[in-house]
Each structure stands twice: as structure tokens, then as C-alpha cells.
Amino acid sequence: MASAYLYKDLGTPTNAYKGTVSHWVKRSGIGASTEFGSFAAWLNGGSSTRSHCNWYDDTIYFYSQQHSMVVQTNRKFRDANAWYHTVIAWDTTQSTASDRVKIYINGVQETSFSTANYPAQNSVLEYNVSGRRFGVGCLAQSNGSAASFWNGCISDFHFIDGTQYAASDFGSTDSTTGIWKPIVSPSVTYGTNGFFLKFNNSANMGLDSSGQSNNYTTSGTIIQNKDTPSNVFAALNPLNVPASNAPTFANANNTSTTPGSGGRFGGSSTLGMSAGKYYWEAKYVISGLPRGGFGVTYDPGECARNNDTSSEYNYAWSYQSESGLIRNSGSTLDTEATYANGDIVMCALDLTNNKLYFGKNGTWLNSGDPTSGSTGTGAYSVTADKTYFTYTEDNTSGSDQQTYQFNFGNGYFGTTAVSSAQNPDDGVGIFEYDVPAGYRALCTKSLNAQEYS
């Protein structure tokens, strides 16, 4: 959500002692220095106490300044591909301290905490106090403003005024897959201040679907994402980076920017493929000389090694920007048109016939035809049991900064929507250019249909 969030000033609550927040989150920022809020409450515009749910150092940190409350998990949550169903429920009337705050992740209650300072009995937490501002996708500062905005995605946000619910009221285990999934219409009572944000109306992301008409106001620009708990799209993997000179990630891990210092490395997608046909696009934004590459890899760990003069070629089939070379295992397979600042690279991977196609700005290279099947017109042969989409960086000069804006089907390059909005045959995903017949976006729905059907 970048520097954006949603907010509303609360009215008189149904019950100030009890409440529940149920929401699904997908993380982008990972690591010890991270601090992003998924919800908060504070006195707007004035110096006051504050409360928030903070994802700090990859843990969940539930906090109330007024009551010296800190409940922080021991467990760290570092999966950048996963959606975490997070439920935090409180009832300060409980006589047992540990019953006053309960935290659930994907249906399982957390019981191991690095800090467990529970609120005193019959405390009124700031999360449901008349006149306080409740924010979604941020923390609260003591000066009465929002900060540390959520870095990633949020879905199905429920706020309950007056009841301490369990995770099973909002999610259930799929009987076939065993995966924890959302209950679309939970049987809950929202209370006076309660709300349900589905984020399914791009023109009104703060629309309340609880029936309480507690619509939220948007501050900044919030982008509607096709990535949901029910269909997870690929993104770039922030954990698969070199030990030094690592890139930075933004836009729900769909944008990567090099640090502008010397080194070589390669990155990869969070999802890999072993069967079927897939398509993606990437926009190339540079400062200095073009030195990037796009393609597929069968060894994302080796591809990410830093300061290795050959790793980005040896473990990938890569289309290089500066030279237009198609390379694999240190060998040049072909020389095609170079690409530069603002160009959009297309990639189609046919694992039914082990063929790889590259294109630029709507035209396939080498007169390629991704629908040619085993003939492989204009294709390059790929031999791997499992492949990942990848990008490479050859930034040995130390001054050429590269930004890679991937579109795995969400319909954006960075924060800019595609202009033509082309869909695959199955309708899942939005792309700039026409998607070849039979190819799909890289997401769990497509993987299930092509690999496990």
C-alpha cells in the first residue's frame, strides 16, 4: 500500500472491552529492519497514546501504549509468497490474563511469545474508543498521525466491535487440499463501529460490506491487486538475493531496483513451474547503461549469487539488454534486438514442448510463434525439471542502476496500470500485450489447472 492507508473516526462503541480484527496479509518488506503496521488507533492531530498491530522484525507485535501492553510472537513470518490469515481478538473482562488477547495465524492460536504483557482486567484499549481514528494499513505516531505504512497486500479486513471471535469464525480448512481459506460471508455481529473491507471496488477501496455503512476514507493511492488468498500470483523473491549489494523491492515485490553499486546477481520468481504454458511481462527502467537480462532459471539460488562473473548466464536462459544476446551456460544462442529504458520484454514458456520465446514491445523475436507447439518456431530449447522466471544484473561499473517492473498478471508496471488490458484465455490476469493462446499467468490457479488437474 506504499504510503497510503484507510481511516475513519470511531463513534460510541457497542462494547469497548471486546473486539476482533480478522485480516489476510501478504508481506513485501522482509528482514530485521522492517516495521509495517496493518492497523492502528490514535487521536488524530494531537499528542496522545496510541495502539497498533505492527509486523516488526518479521514477528507480530500487538501494542497499546496507554496500558503498557505488548504481545509479541516468538515465531517469525518470512514467507513472501504466502497470505497469512491473522486474527487478533481481545476481551479485557477475562479473569485469566492470557485470555484477554488471542492471536491466530492461519487458524492456529499462537501460544509462544517473546513478550506477553497483557492489559489489566477491564482495560479499554484505544482500538475502539469514541473519537479515536482507526487506520488500516499503517502504524500510529504519538503526534497524532499515521506512519510506517503497510508494505504488501491486505485482503478481507473485518473489524468487530463488541465480540472476541476465534479464527474459525472467519476461515476454514478446505476438505480437499487441507489449505486454510477465507469464509466469504462469516456469521458475525459487527457492532456499531464494525466494518468489512473487501477491497473489491477499485473506485471505492474503503467501501464497507458489513451492513453498518462504516465506509473508510482513502489517504494516498491504493492499488487493487489481483493477488488474493484464493489465488496467489507470482512475485519477486526478496529472500533470494545476494549477501551484499542486494536490490530493494516495492509494489508487493513486483518491482526490484539495484543498489547502484558494482556486482552481478540474478533474482527469481516466488513460484516455479514444471508443466504447462506461462506468460509474463517486465518493463525495464534504467539510469545509465543498460546491463540487465530477463529469462528463466532452473537454479534460482545459484542465479542470485553476487560477484560471480558467470552465474547469471550459467543457470539461466537470458535475454540481455545491452547486447541483445540470448545466452545459456556461458554460450550465446542468438543475437536479437537490444532493449533499453521503457521497453517491455515479453516471455512465453511452453513446458509441454520445452520451448522459450522472447519478445519486445508486442513483437516476438526471431519471428517467434508461441503457439507453434513442438515445431517451436523462433523458440529456444529449455531443459529443466523445474523453472522460475528470472532477471539478471551485470552492474560492474557501479553507476548503472536498473529497475525491473514485473507484471505477472496483476496488470501494473510499478504503480502504472497497463493501457490495453489483455487477458489470457482463462481470463485470469491482465497484461499489456496479447497473450498467446493456451498460455496463462503464473499463479496458483494456473498451476493447479496445468500441473495437478
Q: Tell whether 300 and 414 lie within a shared domain.
A: yes
308-361 pLDDT per residue, tens: 444 445 667 888 888 888 888 778 888 988 888 999 999 999 999 999 999 999
SS3 category, 433: coil
The two most distant CA atoms of the chain are separated, in Å, by 73
Q: Tell whether 330 and 192 lie within a shared domain.
A: no
Q: Tell whether 164 and 309 lie within a shared domain.
A: no
224 belongs to a structural domain:
no
180 belongs to a structural domain:
yes
Q: Tell whether 21 and 162 lie within a shared domain.
A: yes
234 belongs to a structural domain:
no
Q: Are strands 277-287 and 292-297 parallel, antiparallel or unpaired?
A: unpaired
60-88 pLDDT per residue, tens: 999 998 889 999 999 999 998 999 999 99
Which of 104-113, 334-343, 357-366 bottoms out in mean pLDDT, i.e. has the lowest?
334-343
CATH number of the domain that residue 291 is part of: 2.60.120.920
The residue among 310, 204, 277, 293 whose CA lies nearest residue 451 is 277
Confidence of residue 158 (pLDDT cuts 50, 70, 90): very high
pLDDT at 398: 56
227 belongs to a structural domain:
no
226 belongs to a structural domain:
no
240 belongs to a structural domain:
no
Number of structural domains in the chain: 2
CATH number of the domain that residue 204 is part of: 2.60.120.200
pLDDT at 393: 67
42 belongs to a structural domain:
yes
pTM for the full predicted model: 0.91
Confidence of residue 259 (pLDDT cuts 50, 70, 90): confident
* Phi, psi for residue 20 in degrees, rounded to 5: -145, 140
pLDDT at 309: 46
Which whole number is the average pLDDT over 135-151? 87
Q: Is the dihedral of CA 65, 91, 8, 21 positive or negative?
A: positive
Domain range enclosing 124: 5-219
Rounded Cα–Cα distance for residues 286 and 320 (Å) = 14
Q: Tell whether 169 and 310 lie within a shared domain.
A: no
